[in-house]
Amino acid sequence: MAVGATSQTAVASPQELGLDPAKLERACGIIDGHIAAGFHPGAQLAVARHGRLAIDRCFGHAMLDPAHAVGETTLFPLFSNTKVITAAAVWTLVEDGRLRFTDRVAEHVPGFDAHGKQDVTVAHLLTHQAGFPAAEVPAACFTDHQLLRRAVCDFRLDWPPGSRLSYHRMSAHWVIAVLIEALTGADYRDEIRKRVIAPLGLADEIVLGLPESEDRRRSLMYSPKQDDRWPPDAIEATPHFRRAGIPGAGGYATARAMAVFYQMMAQGGIWRGTRIASPRMIDYVTRDFTGDMVDDDMGYPMHRGLGPFCRGHSLTVRGLGAIAHPRTFGHSGVGTSYCWADPTSGVSFAFLSNCRRDNEWHNKRMDTLSTLVHAAILQ
């Protein structure tokens, strides 16, 4: 494996970074306890601040085999954490002057205006207000990009764009993938890698479309135990899913790589001298664009930005930590993971695990772990 930015990232003691080591160790102890109790076989946790890692820990097993312990280069499925990586490529296109967030998608993708979608904007897609939350792309389109373009153009509205907020699990980011290809003429996966992942030195530790040769590094994803057995997750277990690089769900990464990705944003769009986006861009895309609008799918406000969501001022939170600063932003991966950054303190956080728990349990777990990390910020 080539040496990337994560393996060269300086590691500092929590005290050097103004963090309380006891709180971080308490978080690690909770993860150990969850593994011992059978909630998931393995995990990774990374916490960084000011360009250095305070925690980079591996827990348990990547596969149900004592010989397959989670290691520092083990790749975990990101599921919806992938959405922010895909959105970051859009930010770079806006900064290149090739796109505006207020642009209608149909301006760049001829035919997308079919079935009344002419008013759907880039911002609608990124904030989950596009109006087609349940639209699906057939698996046959995953690697046939002409079919993919036709499929998204054929999406039908459930409600007028911008009139409601409802989580678009896959559909909006498939449209973003088609938009990236229309603007650049390149495969969206290659463009995301070129614009975001590779410049950060993360090409070995964030992968969109997992090659067969890298299957050996992946952590298997499991469903909750049944009769003392861990059934494989039915979606992630298929090679078709792993190879596709689904733009809203198909990434693989290490926790430390995701902590670096969020460090870039916490530091205003730059990492180790390489600028991905301007400070103004990071400030803009991590704002709360949906306010107190209730997400139909979640049942409470999500405070959506143009990629991640932010903590906001709601009493109800979803994994970012109850005591997080309102500008803290991040994303989840369904029942498995959470990544965030607090731009006011410079702390970034990534937790990845390998069992798809129900979201109610997962959100409570992540609120607890994230709150401990926020409580660790002493300076």
For 292-349, how does the pLDDT look when each residue is reduced to its tens digit (9 = 90+)? 999 999 999 999 999 999 999 988 878 999 999 999 999 999 999 999 999 999 999 9
Q: Which structural domain range is residue 142 located in?
A: 86-189
pLDDT in the model for residue 228: 87
Those residues whose C-beta lies under 8 Å from the C-beta of residue 25, and which sit 6 or more positions away, are none
Same domain, 218 and 139: no
Q: Radius of gyration of the chain from Cα atoms?
A: 19
Q: Which residue has the tokens 């702390």?
A: 347
d(CA 335, CA 353): 9
- Per the CB < 8 A criterion, the answer to whether 175 and 105 are in contact is yes
Same domain, 76 and 200: yes
Same domain, 29 and 144: no
pLDDT in the model for residue 344: 98
- What does the block give as tokens for 43? 């995990």
Same domain, 233 and 343: yes
Same domain, 80 and 101: no
Same domain, 245 and 355: yes
First to last CA, the chain: 37
Last residue of a domain, one of 189, 216, 237: 189
Picking from 180, 256, 248, 150, the residue whose alpha carbon sits closest to that of residue 208 is: 248
d(CA 71, CA 62): 8
d(CA 321, CA 125): 26
The SS3 call for residue 207 is: strand
pLDDT above 90: percentage of residues in the chain: 94
Q: How many residues does the chain have?
A: 379
- What does the block give as tokens for 237? 């277990």
pLDDT in the model for residue 1: 34
Say if residue 3's pLDDT is above 50. Answer: no
Say if residue 220's pLDDT is above 50. Answer: yes
pLDDT-derived band at 211 (thresholds 50, 70, 90) equals: very high
Compute the Cα dihedral for 74, 28, 344, 287 and give only its sign.
Answer: positive
Last residue of a domain, one of 162, 189, 216: 189
- Per the CB < 8 A criterion, the answer to whether 168 and 132 are in contact is yes
pTM for the full predicted model: 0.97
Question: Phi and psi dihedrals of 338, rounded to 5?
Answer: -155, 140
In CATH, what number is assigned to the domain containing residue 223? 3.40.710.10
Count of domains for the chain:
2
pLDDT in the model for residue 289: 98
For the purposes of burial, counting CB atoms within 10 Å of the CB of 227, is it exposed (0-12), middle (13-18) or buried (19 or more)? exposed
- Per the CB < 8 A criterion, the answer to whether 194 and 49 are in contact is no
Same domain, 171 and 212: no
Helix, strand, coil fractions of the chain, as percent rounded to 5: 35, 20, 45
Of 63 and 318, more confident = 63
For the purposes of burial, counting CB atoms within 10 Å of the CB of 73, is it exposed (0-12), middle (13-18) or buried (19 or more)? middle
Same domain, 136 and 160: yes
Same domain, 66 and 99: no
Same domain, 240 and 318: yes
Same domain, 219 and 288: yes
pLDDT above 70: percentage of residues in the chain: 98
For the purposes of burial, counting CB atoms within 10 Å of the CB of 1, is it exposed (0-12), middle (13-18) or buried (19 or more)? exposed
pLDDT-derived band at 2 (thresholds 50, 70, 90) equals: very low
pLDDT-derived band at 8 (thresholds 50, 70, 90) equals: low
d(CA 143, CA 243): 9
Give the burial string for 124-148 (b: 16+ CB within 10 Å, else e).
bbbbbbbbbbebebeeebbeeeeeb
d(CA 213, CA 153): 34
Last residue of a domain, one of 132, 156, 189: 189
pLDDT in the model for residue 137: 97
Same domain, 124 and 23: no
pLDDT-derived band at 248 (thresholds 50, 70, 90) equals: very high
